[in-house]
Structure 1
Amino acid sequence: MVWIEGGKFTLGDNDPAALQIESPAIEATIDGFYIDETEVTNAQFKKFVDATKYITVAERPVDWEFLKTQLPPGTPKPDDADLEPGSLVFTPPNHAVTLEDYSRWWSWTKGANWKHPQGPGSDIKEKDNYPVVHVAYEDAEAYAKWAGKRLPTEAEWEYAAQAGNNNSKFAWGNELNPQGKYMANFFQGEFPYKNTHEDGYERLAPVKSFPPNKFRLYEVIGNVWEWTTDYYRPDTYAKYKTDGMRECHSPKGPKDSYDPNDPYGTKRVIKGGSFLCSEQYCSNYRPNARMATSIDSGQEHLGFRCVKDK
């Protein structure tokens, strides 16, 4: 882990080009904390599973009683065959598609989980140093507790990712690829069907594949999205302002979640972007970027790292 000295920083983004859910920016103060220098790897997660016999959400039969609480009232129960364990896998088409329908490149895949990232027939052999994926929020939280750590707040994560570059668009400056050098793992080419992988990776990259930021943290941008403890609301920062908070100390986010696009789901904030972010779609490889994900969701581009108090 790396020690992050506390301090003041700007949480959120007032840039006109920023997404509305990232503004208005607010000044925040963070207490010092330790943070994992890399995303939690397959090898690290395997030690946890071996020691505790833990079974991830993606490996368990789908709990209809829980699932229906995330859906509009009256939603009929699917066939039992459709409630088999699985997770979301990136399945790119072989032609251009509308970018308004993510089901064109995401597929619910039975048998997909952290040990089988692309579903049955795939595995993590010789991938000990790759970030673990297909972890739901409770999976990440269980690992953190076992390791004597916890998951970061959104503010802690953003402060660590900025690494002092408060006024820069990216974690390393204002150019996406300074002097032609790739600083993170993201999608190049025509999203989602033609990945030229000019950064050297078509999907995941092993940890420590790209330069660390000024706080010596690796792949804090790109590669996989990372869980935070904050509940998601699109108006989080606006509410800080409404409450008269010009500056806040170690903010921990709202008390509950709400996503107008999915009003029945319970969601947490994820940060950092992934290998699927591109200039054409989801260009969230910025410290200020934020996205909502259902707490029971496991995906091929979603992982985590932990923090620890002094």
Structure 2
Amino acid sequence: MTNISISLEGIDQAIDSLNYRPGSIKQRAILAIRAFYTSNESLKQLSSLDTDILIQSVWDVGDHLSKLKAKRRNFSSIKSSINADLEKLSQKGQNRENIIIADSNVFDMSQEAKNNLFNSFADAFKTGDINLDQAKDLLKAVKNFLKDYQTTDADNSEEDIEEIELDEGEEFEEIEELDEDVEEIELDEDEELEEVDELDEDPEEIEVEEDVEEIELDEDEELEEIEELDEDVEEIELDEDEELEEVDELDEDLEEIEAEEDIEEIELDEDEELEEIEELDEDVEEIELDEDEELEEVDELDEDELKALEEFREKKELAEHFDDTLGQREKKINKYVTVPEGKYTIGTKKSLKSSMELQLFDMPKVYIGMYPVCNSLFEIFIEQTGYTTTAENQGYGRVYHSSLKKDTNGLTWNKHAGSEDIKGACWYHPFGPDSNLHGKRSHPVVQVSVDDAVTFAAWIGRRLPTEAEWEAAARTDLGYKYPWGNKFNPNALNIEQSGVSDTCAVDEYDAFANEFKIVDMLGNVMEWTADMETPSIESKKNIRYNIAKGAAWNSKQDITISSRALFKPGFTSNTIGFRCISEIFS
């Protein structure tokens, strides 16, 4: 028979059988629930546990509402996974009380076990395989079962439960009476079956007699009918032959008439007919060729459109999923703004070999990151994908030091200015192994290569901007020299003169956003683009360089939106980051 209740011993036995790795997320979750069961009384008293309290026990999120909200879906998934494991244990006999975690977050018996309990209650009375203790326990179990699964008529359910709560002596009197009723029903059924057998025999005899009477037909009468039928068939066949002869004659007359008409029609000019036929053939061939070409074009168009639509949907889902995982602070930093379609001025009149020439650019409608990608967003990407950056793989990154640094005495000269390749420098050690990201979660991520930036962007359903797109978005349709206008303002950006000698928060200069509300496109960090260029300087090696736009925290004051720099593939430093762009809504 099925277990009628759960116990602390059964719960602990099931947890031990799960054999979860110590410290794993599943173990922390199930032990967080187990901690509320301090005694056998708690099995009766606990009807539900607050999800947020359990989340706080599993993850270190405190009272942060946005973090709690983000973890609720995770907790639900983990609970479903644990229940699946518990059900497997039940099938193996290692979860003897069929323990699961209910929707209310407390331990309970599985629904299947409860159904089996109810069935075993009924079977016990039918077979008589029940003693006093079992009956007592079963009646209590059914009482609890009815409490849990009330019908829509609440009053009737309460009356049923009251009826179950009978005096034990009366209960067993009723059980004995029930057994007698069952015996009477069984006897009645036997008698009824005997009567049915007798009734079945009579119709069979009647049917046999009728069949015999039908078979005893007069054979002579049958033979006479058959002979008459043969005569009728012969007459029908004769009539048909006569009719066919008449039809043949009629067909011959029609053929003579049609032949005369055909001869008249045939006497047309053969040359004219042949010309018309040839022209018709040419038209048919042209139509068939046109249709084939059109169908090929339609097929190609449909395939391209479907492929583009599918790619758009996939990118949209990736972008929405990433944004849904973020807290309020990260959501603000991950915001995208619209760059309208139109003609934009890009490039410069300066005759610098590394500059893009002044020109008009047809800008499509796109959505670009309001800020560069910051450390907190990049960290989520690393945690969820296990991605290893270029700097980590190669073991070093370029580290720059600023000439000026602000301290209590104002700006001072830094004798260690310049750059060098430092072992261990990477995105979470931007200046080398002795540095870290403490206090820099909202700073732009650095020590990332173009490949790192492209991989991150694809993971969230977006991409890197081209140089033309980046510059058009920065200058806006007003064609400004700087994001805020045409006059340089040293207080509007983080460069060497600022004395920070490092990156700052991406929203530090919100007040100096451009007309499209895009922030930090000049100063703080240079930003990778999707473009590459081969320098015009004569060289034995034809190397294509990655293009970075804008300026960094160690730049001088002679920078503008058109400023650019070229770096070899795989280059990383503590002065270059990136932002994303796409055709997906902001």
- Give TM-score scaled by structure 1 length: 0.71
Q: Distance in 1 between matches of 2:414 and 2:502?
A: 19
- Note if contact 1:165-1:171 (Cα within 8 Å) is conserved in structure 2: no
Structure index of larger Rg = 2
Number of residue pairs the alignment of both structures matches: 239
Q: SS of 1:141's equivalent?
A: helix
Matched residue, 2:533: 232
Matched residue, 1:68: none
Matched residue, 2:506: 207
Matched residue, 1:293: 567
Residue 335 of structure 2 corresponds to residue 36 of structure 1? no
Deviation for aligned residue 1:261: 6.6
Q: SS of 2:458's equivalent?
A: helix
Deviation for aligned residue 1:20: 3.7
Matched residue, 2:582: 308
Which fold has the larger relative contact order, with Cα–Cα distance below 8 Å and residues 6 or more apart in sequence? 1
Structure whose residues are more often helix by fraction: 2
Matched residue, 1:50: 383
The 4+ residue runs of structure 1 with deviation greater than 4 A are: 92-97, 259-262
Residue 337 of structure 2 corresponds to residue 2 of structure 1? yes
Deviation for aligned residue 1:296: 0.1
2:453 to 130, 140, 165: 140
Q: Distance in 2 between matches of 1:262 and 1:48?
A: 39
Q: Distance in 2 between matches of 1:232 and 1:134?
A: 21
Q: SS of 1:21's equivalent?
A: coil
Matched residue, 1:274: 552
Q: Distance in 1 between matches of 2:362 and 2:472?
A: 9
1:105 to 407, 418, 423: 418
Q: Deviations over 1:174-207 (max 9, x none)?
A: 2211xxx61111111xxxxxxx62xxx2311101
- Letter of the 2:368 partner, please give it: I
Within a 5 Å distance, the mapping from 1:116-155 to structure 2 comes to 116-155=429-468
Q: Distance in 1 between matches of 2:369 and 2:353?
A: 30
Q: Distance in 2 between matches of 1:233 and 1:54?
A: 30
Within a 5 Å distance, the mapping from 1:19-34 to structure 2 comes to 19-34=352-367
Q: Deviations over 1:36-79 (max 9, x none)?
A: 1100000000000001000000001x3xxxxxxxxxxxxxxxxx
- Note if contact 2:401-2:554 (Cα within 8 Å) is conserved in structure 1: no
Matched residue, 2:399: 89
- Note if contact 1:32-1:309 (Cα within 8 Å) is conserved in structure 2: yes
Q: Distance in 2 between matches of 1:13 and 1:225?
A: 18
Structure whose residues are more often strand by fraction: 1
Change in 2 beyond 3 A, CA 1:262/1:56: farther
- Letter of the 2:524 partner, please give it: N
Q: Which 5+ residue runs of structure 1 have no aligned equivalent? A: 63-84, 98-102, 189-195, 236-258
Within a 5 Å distance, the mapping from 1:176-215 to structure 2 comes to 176-177=488-489, 182-188=491-497, 197=499, 201-210=500-509, 211-215=512-516
Residue 554 of structure 2 corresponds to residue 219 of structure 1? no
Matched residue, 1:172: 484
Q: Deviations over 1:184-239 (max 9, x none)?
A: 11111xxxxxxx62xxx23111011112111111101111010101112446xxxx
Q: CA RMSD in A?
A: 2.3
Q: SS of 1:228's equivalent?
A: strand
Change in 2 beyond 3 A, CA 1:298/1:124: same
- Give TM-score scaled by structure 2 length: 0.39
- Note if contact 2:533-2:546 (Cα within 8 Å) is conserved in structure 1: yes
Q: SS of 2:473's equivalent?
A: helix
- Note if contact 1:165-1:172 (Cα within 8 Å) is conserved in structure 2: no
Change in 2 beyond 3 A, CA 1:150/1:262: farther
Matched residue, 2:347: 12
Matched residue, 1:250: none
Change in 2 beyond 3 A, CA 1:96/1:301: closer
Deviation for aligned residue 1:148: 0.7
Deviation for aligned residue 1:21: 2.9
Q: Distance in 2 between matches of 1:149 and 1:289?
A: 24
